[in-house]
Structure 1
Amino acid sequence: MERNDGNFGCLKEMLDAHDIALLNRAQLGLPVERKPFDVLGEELQMSEEEVLERLKRLKRIGIVRSVSASFDASRLGYRSALVAFSVESKHLTDVASVISSLPFVSHNYERDAEFNLWFTITLPSEIDMEAEVVKLALECNVHKWLFLPTLRTFKIGVALDASLRFGNIFEKSDEPPMPKRDLAEDDITCIRILQEELPLTSAPFDELAKAHGKNGEWLIERAKILLSEGRLRRVAVFVNHKRLGYNANALVVWSVPNEEVEKVGKALAAVKQVSHCYHRPAYPEWQFSVYTMFHSVDEKSLQKAVEEAASIVGDYKWRMLLSVREFKKARVKFFA
């Protein structure tokens, strides 16, 4: 659970019905067109100017964290894994600093458990991830760790309902089949460009492309191909969940026998407060195999949501891992 520091939550009161509608829609993905905010405005019965002004204001006050692209690492030739280190408390800050400095680490948190440092790594598929983790553990003088690659994804990519009603406003649809073709150099150039912040202007793809010596039409065409192949998930608005009013979240892990993982994973994925649900390997010293992220407006409602989920899925051991400190939250740059 991530504890609220008291500086967030009230910003939700600054949103009107149009802001909420815009945030909910824009999290699903912006039209990959020359004038995406004009297309979005027509859908929401707003002018392009109003859409842009609202997004600029929401970004200025910190509700909108970024407007950018989200990619499927596995379809770009990368693999990701969750890693947990057991670090002596007196060395935790120093070890966390080393981990956070690595460009292939996206998230890094202290959690309330024996394995107290949890981070996510993303590396090209040809690199032996587990060997890298072992090397890193030895460098940090860590003797106990967990290597937790994703074995199956049950849920990812749920947008946060700006009205705080917890509707699942974005369920990941069936993915297209894995692309058979290799990425071309033009694809890689496109990916590099799209990882930058999308300008809040009338023709943002034109502006982004021009900064790299390309034209907007080329960038849009390449982006649409990547989108159709599932390599590009979406270009969208991403929000700061605390400033939106989701002040409590927790990593909840479940001990589930292999033959029951699919049933439990699907049941937990259907819980509206769950944003992510994965199957990961279990170990003798850590017999949890299903990993979920829960979000809610406060700790009391979060605890209730987890307990209700536990009653739905059945009599499985579970544990809520409290987030004590956030050391890093950033996206890994592909083909950097």
Structure 2
Amino acid sequence: MAPTTIPAHVDDPVNAKILAVSEDRVQGFHREPLRTIAEQSEVELDTVITRIAAMLREGTIRRVRQTLMSTSLAPGALVAWRLPGERIKPAFEFMFREDPFSGHVVTRSTDRDTPGSDYKLWTTLKVPRPYDMEAHCRYLAERTGATAYKLLPAKKLFALGVGHVRRREIEPGDRTDEPGRVLDTEVVDLTEREWRVLTALKREFEPEELRPDPWAPRAQEAGETLEDFCAIAEDLTERNIVGRFSTFLEHYKQHRDGTRVTRYNALFHWRVPEGAEIRAGQEVGRHHCMTHAYWREGGPEFAGVNIMGVSHGTEKDRVLAHKAAIDEHLEAVGIPVEYTNVFWGGRSEIKPSEVSPFAYRDWCLQRGLDPEAMRA
């Protein structure tokens, strides 16, 4: 008898049930995260493990990992880069392949010439203390030929939490009953022992590592007993350093079965009156179509925008309808939209930004940089 092929696409009903939980509903550290997914999705544990492993092997899921609240671990920023046209592609490759501290690497364009539309490469950046983001960006600009860059650190984040599978059913204007939560971006200091646990905790899982007790090998890797490893991870969760256990879908690229989770990736910009930033961010953040929302100061390069957020969709008109609903909502609650824009995502690669100061020092030495010269 021929072996049964395990479905690995998002539209399979069992996979959809699993993903509706595993994308974003397993918040914090769980000693048996796959069992938690099984219980919440009402799918047998063995099936959850088999299906997630199959989707990971097929590329439907791009990674399985325990996320960290990286804003608590290292100063970070969204960075917009201006480059000559012929330098965009090699700069993209360098940021993605050679810089472990750049996470999202995305080309972006606008529908017409607008303030900032000549900044066509966008990255997220984390540079662990005591090292300096400006020094890091100067090095990247020198290596890539960038003629200008704009650091856009988040002053506040607005909590969101709807996975891509559930987001596909959202109607324009759908939002939570309450405004989004406001999250600060203060960085905390960790001990060397805590960094060892975090380093083991955050590493991506290979399909073969998915098991009911996935942390036992990681505890051994960190030089801890399983009980101590879990206790430290739980303490880090209480301190808002550990995020969620998550299966990250490959939502930009075409899957092997020809499907895509989403096609359009839009970075929305709004300028609201000074003093209204937090309230506006909360109102944007309550809309289910948004995957991220931040208070970032765009400065004159981007017409003074101060609220930014990302939304995804399979149809461009649908993405714009979601944005129009947010614009209307802001006006309806008394927050004038003084300026707005959309930067559309093109080519995109995503990887977790490295946040360890030990890794940063090693990277500097590997590239012939003096780590002391890269300090703040």
TM-score, normalising length: structure 2: 0.76
CA distance in 1, matches of 2:251, 2:353: 20
Deviation at 1:313, TM superposition (A): 1.9
Q: Secondary structure at the match of 1:124?
A: coil
Aligned equivalent of 1:318, options 309, 324, 340: 340
**Match for 1:216 among 226, 233, 243?**
226
Distance 1:179 1:123 in 2: 11
- Cα distance, 1:204 vs structure 2: 0.9
Report Cα offsets for 1:158-189 as digits up to 9, x if no partner.
422347323879x9867699798x42222111
Task: Say which SS state the counterpart of residue 204 (structure 2) adopts.
Answer: coil
1:271-310 alignment, distance < 5 Å: 271-287=287-303, 288-310=305-327
Deviation at 1:96, TM superposition (A): 2.6
Question: Does 2:96 correspond to 1:92?
Answer: no
Query: For 2:58, which of 57, 61, 65 is the aligned residue?
Result: 61
Q: Which amino acid aligns with 2:352?
A: R
For residues 95-115 of structure 1, give each alpha carbon's deviation from its aligned partner in whole angstroms, at most 9, with x where no partner exists: 333333212111112111211
Match of 2:129 among 125, 128, 136: 125
Give the whole-Å Cα distance in 2 for the aligned partners of 1:190 and 1:278.
Answer: 29
Displacement of 1:223 in angstroms is: 1.0
For structure 2, which runs of at least 5 residues remain unmatched after alignment? 1-7, 110-116, 332-336, 360-376
Which amino acid is the alignment partner of residue 26 of structure 2?
A: G
Q: What whole-Å deviation, never above 9, does each CA across 1:67-106 have from its counterpart, x for those lacking one?
A: 2111112322x11111111111122223333333212111
Percentage of identical aligned residues: 20
Contact kept, 8 Å, 2:87 with 2:145, in 1: the verdict is no
1:143 aligns with: 147
| 1:222-254 residue CA offsets vs partner (Å, 9 max, x unmatched) | 111111111111222222224562222211111
Counterparts of 1:74 and 1:31 in 2: how far apart (Å)?
A: 15
Q: Of 165, 171, 179, which aligns to 2:169? A: 165
Check conservation: 1:206, 1:217, Cα contact below 8 A: no
2:164 counterpart SS class: coil
Shift of 1:122: 0.2
**Does residue 265 in structure 1 map to residue 261 in structure 2?**
no
Residue 242 of structure 2: which of 207, 226, 232 is its match? 232
Change in Cα spacing, 1:175 to 1:136, as seen in structure 2 (3 Å) is: closer
User: Which of 288-297 and 252-261 deviates more?
Assistant: 252-261
Match among 315, 332, 336 for residue 353 of structure 2: 332
User: Do the aligned partners of residues 267 and 220 (structure 1) sit closer, same or farther apart at CA in structure 2, a change above 3 Å counting?
Assistant: same
Bigger mean CA offset, 241-250 vs 184-193: 241-250
Q: Distance in 1 between matches of 2:185 and 2:83?
A: 41
Q: Which amino acid aligns with 1:252?
A: F
Equivalent pair of 1:83/1:121 in contact (CA under 8 Å): yes
* Cα separation, 2, equivalents of 1:278 and 1:190: 29
- The question of 1:109 aligning with 2:106 is answered yes
Which amino acid letter does the alignment assign opposite residue 293 of structure 1?
V
Summarize the Cα distance change of 1:84–1:11 in structure 2 as closer, same or farther, 3 Å threshold. Answer: same
Query: Is 224-233 or 40-49 further displaced after alignment?
Result: 40-49
Contact 2:270 2:338 in 1 (8 A): yes
Aligned to 1:197: 204
- Cα 1:316/1:155, change in 2 over 3 Å: farther
Separation in 2, partners of 1:46, 1:91: 48
Query: Residue 296 and residue 177 in structure 1: after superposition, are their counterparts in 2 closer, same or farther (change >3 A)?
Result: closer
Cα shift at 1:53: 1.7
1:138 and 1:81 map into 2 onto residues whose CA distance is 19
Contact 2:264 2:312 in 1 (8 A): yes
* Deviation, structure 1 residue 273: 0.8
Kindly tell me: are residues 176 and 229 of structure 1, through their superposed partners in 2, closer, same or farther at Cα, counting changes over 3 Å?
farther
Measured in 2, the distance between the counterparts of 1:212 and 1:250 equals 39
